[in-house]
Structure 1
């Protein structure tokens, strides 16, 4: 199972990899540190038995766990522990005939502290000086805003607004001069990453000052937040995450697909917390890609984009995904579904019976518009339709027909009963996943944390199988019949 991780023929690993794999699985289940895991292996007979150690074995140094996780995460099959447990699930037949899957996501907090703009700039400059050959000599001449050999923050009056503005301007100037005077040479991976990170940090939080500030030609903190902003140079893949309008976290998103009767994780995936490619709707198809056949997919409105619906339906899945509610422009007034939209004919008809042309189809992913402006003058339904002085206008996004059909289906009591029955169990799976302090991640970067997420899901699946009566009959795995 682990032979590809140890290709060298020069001896064997100091500790059998199956022992380490069992140890990190138990570690992920109980949420322990490396030191605590080794202590359990040394002192708890249950852990010794589970990992295949003898009574008098003294385990190993805790650093070996980090070494093994690094090998596993960088291997061709970083999720092999989860895949092995999934094979056990299939062998038991516990999911046979269960064709429902509930989808959801949750935010996992990153393992580092969020850094402000000044800290990120200083840290990024230090990284370039440390990783790029010759950068230290350039920095000694070009970087004058701060002593970058000093481990602390710049010494200024932090309650002085003008002093903070001057410091930001000077640090950005240092970063740009350093980037502009670096030696022209081929860089290794670490050096190239350090240079790219400095360039990104130097531009994401600042903008040129305008004349109204009296600071023309200088830099200031930008008014607003840059999309996909890096929150820490220690973990550049961590992001600001808005799970709701009022709840903001820094970290990653864990995406889950769960069988709602047994609460077995059929697939999981960890992505950075922001960015359109990491949205729930774009991950849904990947979570269901390994299913043997079509399933009934249950999800909230995050999975209700036109693109996601089209992709899932093309894969043969039946959707029980809560549609996005429509908001009328006037309280109690008309919504988009009250208009007749003919995409093929290229027309839109309002509740008053006026028909106008849709704008030309400009390609996939682009919305079409319809403007009723002149027809709204003197219309008796105007007060229930729009508050715009220029009249009603519509914006029809791609996939509108699918969304409209989804809203029609969601009004069916049978659909609502199925959604209320099979969607909520995924919340239990989320609670299990983040329980016992596992909301906060222990590692940095998507690769390591994704490997941890799969290992924890595998451990939770094993626990569920054991509670259901998992046993081996000498040939295969099976669930013991209830007494």
Structure 2
């Protein structure tokens, strides 16, 4: 397929006449075309197509179809049918009434092109640029971010199902690639155990018998890997994706003990960040957040929050499920900066801000990152000899304790987590005679007090943030962050935000870019029609909760 780029023209007169008659008060698709004009051009996607070949359907129109598909929650077949049959879709796309549209498979092929070129962000950017030109996007004020879990498109598997499905998937791939070779090396009972899906098998309920089944599957998989890597096996079989997944899962789940294949113990398995949970989606990971346990991904949603313009999604960041929130603020800010969408204030929950992130946001992007800071968990944090009770002289590199004693050592070191810290020590000769030594020292046998300090900018950032967050004024301002929960709810209800439609991180990321664009179109349409924003539904009893508890609930 090739692309013949062309400038989008006016909506055909007959399409306009019929659309006005059929929709006298308009519809979302019609209003978006009237108010925002042409959202995408073919030139924006020229790199997705070769210069020679059969002309493809207009990529700019296909992109708009993908967004409208997410706005209305349509399948590919339904979206293609809407292009053929619906007047408002033809109006938004600028098509003649008799235009036959395209086969539904074109949408899947076009999504693959977007994924291969990592072009999903262009879709969200196109909507944002149109909104900016219309004066509907203001980014210099406030923004808010939150994350939510995303379930993998693959069904969650038990351990026995996972290893059995992994082996079955590899056998099927080998049967397609080298049927004659596999027929020679396959054990006779493999056809009985792995010819059908694992979910159709009846695994025993007794623990000992289930362990026997696991060892049998592990042994069969090890035999298959030995056969694939043997000198007489075709070389290309080792590079099959299913065989690579089989090898990776077997390394993670099994090992040899006395020449027998045994399951690894919980402490001998790799961490969740690299551990595969299903052979059908190798990039999905298992994670836990409070009482939510899931296999899949995580998405971070960022939106504007100004009272006189619609709250528009400005960034969608998709990660593996195990990536913590506190490493994402820099990536989000860099993405926003690249598209001129940086806010002045960025409101987040307790999972995002750390001392380093607050300083980086302020110094590199000029952003005031606001969110509840984790409390000081040291045993003496709130006592008379807590760290805040010591006077720090940064210029002279000295610390004075509450009793007036001055420290004697100031060294730059690294913490157990690899973070740069300043280690301050007092002299044992000064501390031993002190009657408050046992109250001050962190260890019952210590002969002197030691302090681990962040560097000055981070230390002051944490100190100032904790002091500010104890005020009623800050607690009142922090209420602005709660609105992001409504955006996530809208994304879940309208676009299925918490369930991936596709396999793999790249395709799931594209889904979220389309989701963000769809939410923006829906909100722009609501703004144009003066549809009031839904109010937060709070029960009468919950409204009586004190402000301190409301803040704790938001963490």
**Normalising to structure 2: TM-score of the pair?**
0.70
Corresponding position of 2:486 = 428
Corresponding position of 1:241 = 287
> How many residues get paired?
462
Is 226-235 or 151-160 further displaced after alignment? Answer: 151-160
Corresponding position of 2:76 = 34
Distance 2:171 2:245 in 1: 13
**SS where residue 288 of structure 1 aligns?**
helix
Distance 2:375 2:350 in 1: 9
Matched, 1:303 2:352: yes
**SS where residue 166 of structure 1 aligns?**
helix
Give the counterpart of 2:243 among 191, 195, 207: 195
Q: How far apart are 1:12 and its partner, in Å?
A: 1.4
Distance 1:390 1:459 in 2: 62
Distance 1:315 1:279 in 2: 16
The change in CA–CA distance for 1:220 and 1:68 in structure 2 (over 3 A counts) is same
The change in CA–CA distance for 1:441 and 1:356 in structure 2 (over 3 A counts) is farther
Distance 2:167 2:317 in 1: 33
Note the 1:90-239 alignment, pairs <5 A: 90-96=132-138, 98-131=140-173, 136=182, 140=186, 147-152=193-198, 158-181=204-227, 182-183=229-230, 191-206=239-254, 219-220=262-263, 222-223=265-266, 226-228=271-273, 229-239=275-285
Decide whether the 8 Å contact of 1:281 with 1:305 is kept in 2.
no
Q: How far apart are 1:234 and its partner, in Å?
A: 0.8
Matched, 1:12 2:68: no
Corresponding position of 2:336 = 288
Matched, 1:408 2:464: yes
Note the 1:319-398 alignment, pairs <5 A: 319-322=368-371, 323-329=373-379, 333=383, 335-339=386-390, 355=407, 357=409, 361-362=413-414, 365=419, 379-380=435-436, 382=438, 389-391=444-446, 396=452
Larger Rg: 2
Decide whether the 8 Å contact of 2:165 with 2:197 is kept in 1.
no
Decide whether the 8 Å contact of 1:298 with 1:419 is kept in 2.
no
Decide whether the 8 Å contact of 1:235 with 1:445 is kept in 2.
yes
Is 143-152 or 21-30 further displaced after alignment? Answer: 143-152
Corresponding position of 2:301 = 256
Could you report, residue by residue, the CA deviation over 1:148-205 in whole angstroms, capped at 9, with x for unpaired residues? 3343469675222112222222333333343344146896699353333223212334
Decide whether the 8 Å contact of 2:76 with 2:105 is kept in 1.
yes
**Normalising to structure 1: TM-score of the pair?**
0.79
Decide whether the 8 Å contact of 2:497 with 2:515 is kept in 1.
no
Decide whether the 8 Å contact of 1:237 with 1:446 is kept in 2.
yes
Could you report, residue by residue, the CA deviation over 1:81-103 in whole angstroms, capped at 9, with x for unpaired residues? 22211221221233357332222
Which runs of 5 or more residues in structure 2 are unaligned? 1-41, 530-555
Distance 1:175 1:232 in 2: 16
Matched, 1:444 2:493: no
Which runs of 5 or more residues in structure 1 are unaligned? 210-214, 471-483
Distance 1:281 1:459 in 2: 24
Distance 2:353 2:117 in 1: 35
Distance 1:102 1:217 in 2: 54
Q: How far apart are 1:113 and its partner, in Å?
A: 1.1
Could you report, residue by residue, the CA deviation over 1:104-139 in whole angstroms, capped at 9, with x for unpaired residues? 222222222112222222232333334455673685
CA RMSD in angstroms, aligned pairs only: 4.1
Corresponding position of 1:473 = none
The change in CA–CA distance for 1:87 and 1:204 in structure 2 (over 3 A counts) is same
Could you report, residue by residue, the CA deviation over 1:210-267 in whole angstroms, capped at 9, with x for unpaired residues? xxxxx99652352367322322111111222333x22223221112221111311122
Give the counterpart of 1:49 among 91, 105, 119: 91
Distance 2:501 2:358 in 1: 35
Q: How far apart are 1:431 and its partner, in Å?
A: 2.4
Distance 2:395 2:225 in 1: 53
Distance 1:246 1:43 in 2: 46
**SS where residue 84 of structure 1 aligns?**
helix
The change in CA–CA distance for 1:151 and 1:77 in structure 2 (over 3 A counts) is closer
Q: How far apart are 1:445 and its partner, in Å?
A: 1.0
Corresponding position of 2:541 = none
Decide whether the 8 Å contact of 1:138 with 1:178 is kept in 2.
no
Decide whether the 8 Å contact of 1:81 with 1:455 is kept in 2.
yes
| Bigger helix share | 2
The change in CA–CA distance for 1:258 and 1:396 in structure 2 (over 3 A counts) is farther
The change in CA–CA distance for 1:152 and 1:395 in structure 2 (over 3 A counts) is farther
Decide whether the 8 Å contact of 1:34 with 1:62 is kept in 2.
yes
The change in CA–CA distance for 1:46 and 1:165 in structure 2 (over 3 A counts) is same
Corresponding position of 1:212 = none
The change in CA–CA distance for 1:327 and 1:27 in structure 2 (over 3 A counts) is same
Distance 1:343 1:9 in 2: 66
Distance 2:394 2:247 in 1: 45
